[in-house]
Structure 1
Amino acid sequence: MQHQSTVASGASRPVWLIAGILLFATNLRAPITGVAPLLDMIQNSLGLGTTAAGMLITLPLLAFAVVSPFAALLAREYGLERSLFIALVLIGMGIVIRSTGPVWSLYLGTWIIGSGIAIGNVLLPSLLKRDFPEKVATLTAVYALTMGCVAAISSAIAFPLAHFSGLGWRLGIAMFVILPLVSALIWLPQLGNRTAPAQGTAAPPHGGRVWRSALAWQVTLFLGLNSFVYYVTVSWLPTILRDAGYSPEHAGSLHGALQLATAVPALVLMPVMRHLKDQRLAAFSSSIITMIGLLGLLLAPEWATIWTVMVGLGTGAAIILGLAFVSLRASSAHEAAALSGMAQCVGYLLAALGPTLVGWLHSDLGGWGVPLSLCAALCFVMALFGLLAGRAIHIVGAVARRRLA
């Protein structure tokens, strides 16, 4: 009887583990991006300027840059499962702090949320690589879609919930605490395990070959510029649309459509990525699609649905490609971990610059022409980096060829 019980428990573990992974994915975007439809309400309530409001998206990205590289160290000390549980606790605690109290608690809670999400961003893929090595592409696509769907729903309901409940923006951002609470409950069965992260998990950034590699910088800047553009759009799209004459509810719905669209490319690209001879065309095309979408929002905002979906598809495809480049361009798991740490640190620092810079430009210049034109121009630069990063070569081979030359 005891043996049968053990077998049944072992057989059920993958079910609970997959459920936990998918629920965990719901926490990785919505608590940050769901704030954007409420930015106007928060600004008016607390007297914040546009630049200060942009910090609500910038702070989590700074936390990503600072905390992400050290997530692997946390997992080696406390185990992968317990570290992911700690991440859920941080996200839940941050949401509570953010939605109550004065302005300082709004920013403190936002930083704590970003720290928890940073840990999850690094360790969740590590868990997939370790426990489901044959299904990494499929499960990554499914959890990306889950992440996008929940973020889309959250963005669509945040403003109506805050507006029509009469309780204001605090309820709109407090509702996200449901996600870590439910996720933590489902994750509890995993706490009996204490295992190390996968070998290729991002390590703290340090000097070395990857930092001296042109190819590594091409991968890093492709990812970083895409993150810059994505988080600018996520932060300010509802405000851009409201300034163009859309209702807050319609703007929130389109903001949700943006996030849903970012998840769609994962379903196509993840299974076929390694079968492509190189990824130059895909990287170039995704950047140009994003550029067209941004220019469309500027020049023809009446067709915002089309442009929003294009931006979502373009940035979603680029993030999948950029993350794939980390493993495809590296020649070993150790090198992939070093490149991942470099790309995340530099990439998130670039991304963190975006919302605040664009908010300042909008305040100073009084319009969205320059900010959107700047983002479109960066998409073209990103396309050029995509042509370089998408070549079917490795960092070691690229370094060797440069020395021979």
Structure 2
Amino acid sequence: MSIAEQETRAEETIATGRAEETGPSRRGALVGTPLLVVGVALAASNLRPAVTSMSSVLGEVRDGLGASAVWTSVLTAVPTICFGLAAIAAPLLSRRLGMARAIGLAMAVLTAGLVLRVVDGPWVVLGGTFVAAAGIAIGNVLIPVVVKQSFPHAVGRVTGVYTAALAAGGGIGAAFTPPLEPLLGGWRGAVGAWALLSLAALVVWTIGARHGEPEPVVRAADAEERRPMVRRPLAWVVTAFFGLQACVAYVAMGWLSELFVSVGVTRTDAGLMLALINLIGIPLSFVIPPIALNRASQSGWIVGLACCSLAAVAGLAIAPAAAPWLWTVLLGVGMAVFPLGLGVIALRTREAAETTDLSAMAQGFGYLIGATGPFLFGILHGLTGSWTPSLVLLGAVIVAEMVLGWVAGRPRYV
């Protein structure tokens, strides 16, 4: 080994603070090939069916298990709680295993959880949902980092592909689970069938994800000068904004179907409405991110989309049965703020390491914030017997989302 090579190896050891390295092949960004785009899209398509498939048959699951309203509220909150807790571990996994293996592990854990939660009673359902959500959480944090690292000149376009696939997965899970029930022997078969999609994603990701040359190593002195993300005020604004938009999204995915059924909509139509909320995001994901994320500020876009959500919630509170498809469309348009939430994480940071840290913080703490939404929404409905108090609370959350989104969308760095 030459003197220059020895010096380079010493610098790497000092920078990481460890004597053992994971190896250059795991430190470099994934190679941005067309197959990686397919892998990103297929992985993204698995990040919502675990939630929407269960939500679309929530009444049957509750009745079949003889569960209480509190258990049902907990079930709708479990995914977002786990998203928050597991997201904190995602950067550590990516450093230890490398990005390719970490996301592959996420798909494997998701598959195992989807199978586990349909094999037994209420507690196993909760446990399996938690395991599945842990896999989703890792993907939630790391896939946007892959987009920024591997496609630096096409962040808007690939973010659009990612969020479109994510929306499509959520919509398909909601639309097809109710019809699958009679074909597969009940809700267990219909919900468990989505493990096949995550298994397919695992196979494609294993084939398509390959690390390139390692990135330049950050020296120890530079790392010490960097402030922790939790000490940066704008990072907390981005986190709170992300958490509130997640709160709105998971209330919709967890409870909208039950709300519509309670006002006279058939279970099949309610599932289609839940699917439509997600599917609306597909065309919007190809249009909005490339435009909004290429502008200096995203504030106006965020506020405009949040206004659509607020109009939908007002309609649901005043006359839910009068125009349910209109309220569904408005809410689906409003939820297109999600790709901007991911884009803001990338745009408010200067380098990939900061993006990973902010993504973990925003999604870790953000999803914990978001988890309170489905739980409180269900509890308020259970206590009052009316959807109105829950919808008023949701409207207040959307107003706060507008304010924080305006600040988070302004052009500056954390």
TM-score w.r.t. length of structure 2: 0.84
Question: After the TM superposition, which of the residue ranges 169-178 and 265-274 deviates more from structure 2?
Answer: 265-274
Structure 1 residues 169 and 353, CA gap change in structure 2 (3 angstroms): same
2:336 is aligned with 1:309: no
Aligned to 1:399: none
RMSD over equivalenced CA pairs, Å: 2.6
Question: After the TM superposition, which of the residue ranges 76-85 and 184-193 deviates more from structure 2?
Answer: 184-193
Deviation of 1:13 after TM superposition, in Å, equals 9.1
> For residues 77-107 of structure 1, what are the alpha-carbon distances to aligned partners after superposition, in whole Å with 9 as ceiling and x for unaligned?
2222222221111111101100111222111
Read off the aligned partner of 1:306 and give its amino acid letter.
L
Task: Identify which of 66, 69, 74 aligns with 2:93.
Answer: 74
Aligned to 1:7: none
Distance in 2 of aligned mates of 1:362 and 1:199:
53
Aligned to 1:403: none
Q: Percent identity?
A: 30
Deviation of 1:134 after TM superposition, in Å, equals 2.1
**Gapped regions of structure 2 (runs ≥ 5):** 1-30, 219-225
Deviation of 1:197 after TM superposition, in Å, equals 9.4
Aligned to 2:262: 243
Structure 1 residues 154 and 335, CA gap change in structure 2 (3 angstroms): closer
Aligned to 1:37: 56
Deviation of 1:38 after TM superposition, in Å, equals 0.8
Counterpart contact for 2:43–2:198, Cα < 8 Å: yes
Task: Identify which of 270, 273, 276 aligns with 2:289.
Answer: 270
Aligned to 1:369: 388
Q: Secondary structure at the match of 1:235?
A: helix
Read off the aligned partner of 1:308 and give its amino acid letter.
T
Counterpart contact for 2:48–2:173, Cα < 8 Å: no
Aligned to 2:242: 223
TM-score w.r.t. length of structure 1: 0.86
Structure 1 residues 193 and 328, CA gap change in structure 2 (3 angstroms): closer
Deviation of 1:364 after TM superposition, in Å, equals 0.6
* Structure with the higher fraction of residues in helix conformation: 1
Task: Identify which of 133, 148, 166 aligns with 1:147.
Answer: 166
Counterpart contact for 1:283–1:386, Cα < 8 Å: yes
2:115 is aligned with 1:96: yes
Structure 1 residues 208 and 238, CA gap change in structure 2 (3 angstroms): same
Counterpart contact for 2:90–2:138, Cα < 8 Å: yes
Read off the aligned partner of 1:173 and give its amino acid letter.
V
Aligned to 1:186: 204
Distance in 2 of aligned mates of 1:315 and 1:199:
38
Q: Secondary structure at the match of 1:391?
A: coil
Aligned to 1:5: none
2:109 is aligned with 1:87: no
Counterpart contact for 2:141–2:360, Cα < 8 Å: no
Equivalence map 1:56-205=2 (5 Å): 56-162=75-181, 164-165=182-183, 167-190=185-208
Aligned length: 376
Q: Secondary structure at the match of 1:51?
A: helix
Distance in 1 of aligned mates of 2:228 and 2:192:
45
Counterpart contact for 1:262–1:313, Cα < 8 Å: yes
Task: Identify which of 362, 385, 402 aligns with 2:404.
Answer: 385
